[in-house]
Structure 1
Amino acid sequence: MKKTKQIMAFEQLEAEMEMIERNQLISFKGGGDPTGVIIDPSGNIDAETLWSIAHPIAALSFSGNAYTAQNLAATLFSGNAESLWNGAGDAFRHAYWSALNARSQNATLAGDFGLAHENSSPDNPVAERNMDIRNNNYGIALAAAHPTWTEAQLRSNIFKAAVSGLLVTLR
């Protein structure tokens, strides 16, 4: 008996569901991998690495953006180095990095990467991870809402949000 396309699609879906149950399947809505799916049978590769394998161009761009955001945060908050960890400087860095990522690629890829990045370290405390995700989302949303802003306008508005307490901090 010849299999129909529907039967083959159903069998593929069943196989994917089995892999999800075994935590061996990671899917990203941003695309990049032609199948939209990356399989890690070992379960030993972190989400950020898997995402970067599926999206090498975006990963390279995001790496440069991380460098930019980290250096700018260190400069802007140099008088308060303590704020660079769980404070306003850290919040700025995350929001600005994610805004740059959304600008250099798109909001979906930036959001997917942000989640993969924050979930890649099992030692990262939940409160810190949640803080970072909220600030990442703020930067992505701001960049998406203001596509005509210059980078200086984006940077300035994120800085104001950080120092005014609009961004999430733990300090």
Structure 2
Amino acid sequence: FAYSVLDIVLMGRSNHIATFSKPKPKDIEVALQALADLQLQHLAGQDFASLSGGQRQLILIARAIASECRLMLLDEPTSALDLANQDAVLSLLRQLTKKHGLGIIFTTHQPNHAQAIADKTLLINRDFIRFGQTDEILTSENLTALFHLPMIVEQSQYQQQQFSHFVPVYEVLLEGKRDE
């Protein structure tokens, strides 16, 4: 079926709309605000199927926001997004937790995303499980064990802000440099 972007976001309101009822003006207002939060209101009338994968991902996040739930579960919410949109989504998620008390659980393969917004972190694979405060769990040692890949911590400064970020050390980079 061809659904508009607004229709998809309104589907997030299903718990607020009675069975066989139409969305009320309040539902449409909430859906449009969710789109506006992600600066996507200009897509409201477009066919959802015509969007890029990254745009679809953002629309589905808007749908989750429109549900006005107390706990949001997101599976790799930034996986199909370019870097600017990853930043927009992470910033929005942080804002939702701070301003609305929304609980968010999300999966990611990007430890820098967890470091940016998570209070607590669970690292898990078949052989390795760690859980606790993000700043205690996200260490180069734990990430190296988790990913079976050396991970280093880099300290950086930008606009008088100090921060650290994780950098994977890919074998192919080391091999390429050795060949020169």
Band of TM-score, shorter chain: under 0.3
Say which structure is richer in strand: 2
Normalised by the size of structure 1, how large is the TM-score? 0.26
TM-score (norm 2): 0.25
| Structure holding more helix per residue | 1
Instruction: Flag the structure with more relative contact order, 1 or 2, with Cα contacts below 8 A and sequence separation at least 6.
Output: 1
Bigger radius of gyration, 1 or 2?
2
